[in-house]
Amino acid sequence: MAQKHSIESLEQIAETVREDIIKMLEHAGSGHSAGPLGLADIVTALYFNVLKHDPKNPNWDERDIFLLSNGHCVPVQYAAMAEAGYFPKKELLTLRKFGSRLQGHPERTKLPGLENTSGPLGSGLSQACGMALAMRMDKQTSRYVYVVMGDGEQNEGNVWEAAMLASKYKLDNVIAITDRNNIQIDGFTEDVMPMENFKDKWEAFGWHVIEIDGNDIEAVIDACALGRAVHEKPVMIIAHTIPGKGVDFMENDFHWHGMPPNHEQAKLALHELRTLQGKIRGEHE
């Protein structure tokens, strides 16, 4: 089971996760920066408070399932998994290396604790619905499937097919979280393919929608608890995040969607994040 942590502790873990993301990406020399940094608070909340899981027993029959649909953001999942004890932290520096278990998109069979393989965008919600239906067939009523999705990937029609299916079958064991950071690889989402009114769209598809600040860990935890209290509807949490969160020169700049920092940029980023760590400690003393 996930150990419950104080909000202060969770905030510090999230900043450690961000530091590890920067180190991994610099060492790899390729990968995505903005999305993983923006997702650090959500993924920290999931692994260290929300999910029922056991790093020592990754295939535990009663575990919740976590799926990352926007698989290019997987450095944040690897960093959180290492912090939780799924594998040694030194392995993080093998990201994207030939033969590594930590590929640029998650591969389910490579690493214990990964529940899905993702690369083509738009598939995660369909995977979640299939798993949720299987749980229902097996009468596993205390398990949930949590799926994190990008906003840009919701240009894919597959997402909306899954949305209809989840609503039809009243999959209240599916809790989806959209990383609403407003960027994708070609620019801002509202320029590439406008998505608003986003909340109305999901409600029209029969989902219970919760809208939060996705960089507020307490809000993420509360939204997931509220989601588990909803019956006969799947839940969509629209989590507004800042892409590149914590690194001033990356924040809200879509060019960092698919670009890693070089050595000098990584040094600057780590300095900012360590300064932020100090502020967090100071605020809680």
pLDDT in tens, 265-277: 999 999 999 987 7
pLDDT, mean of residues 42-53: 98
Mean pLDDT of the chain: 94
pLDDT > 70? residue 41 = yes
N-terminal to C-terminal alpha carbon distance within the chain: 29
User: Cα angle vertex 17, ends 13, 23, to 5°?
Assistant: 145
According to CATH, the topology of domain 7-283 is: Rossmann fold (3.40.50)
Could you read off the pLDDT of 198-252 as tens digits, one per residue?
999 999 999 999 999 999 999 999 999 999 999 999 999 999 999 999 999 999 9
Which one, of 270, 237, 66, 227, lies nearest residue 151 by Cα? 237
With 0-12 / 13-18 / 19 or more C-beta atoms within 10 angstroms meaning exposed / middle / buried, residue 134 is: exposed
pLDDT tens sequence across 73-116: 999 999 999 999 999 999 999 999 999 999 999 999 999 999 99
pLDDT score of 284 more than 60? no
Q: Is 218 exposed, middle or buried (0-12, 13-18, 19+ CB in 10 A)?
A: middle
Q: Give the pLDDT score at 120.
A: 86
- pLDDT confidence of residue 5: 83
Instruction: Give pTM, 2 decimals.
Output: 0.94
Q: Is the pLDDT of residue 4 over 80?
A: no
Task: Report the share of the chain in percent with pLDDT over 90.
Answer: 92
Domain parsing of the chain, residue ranges: 7-283
pLDDT of residue 248: 94
pLDDT at 279 over 90: no
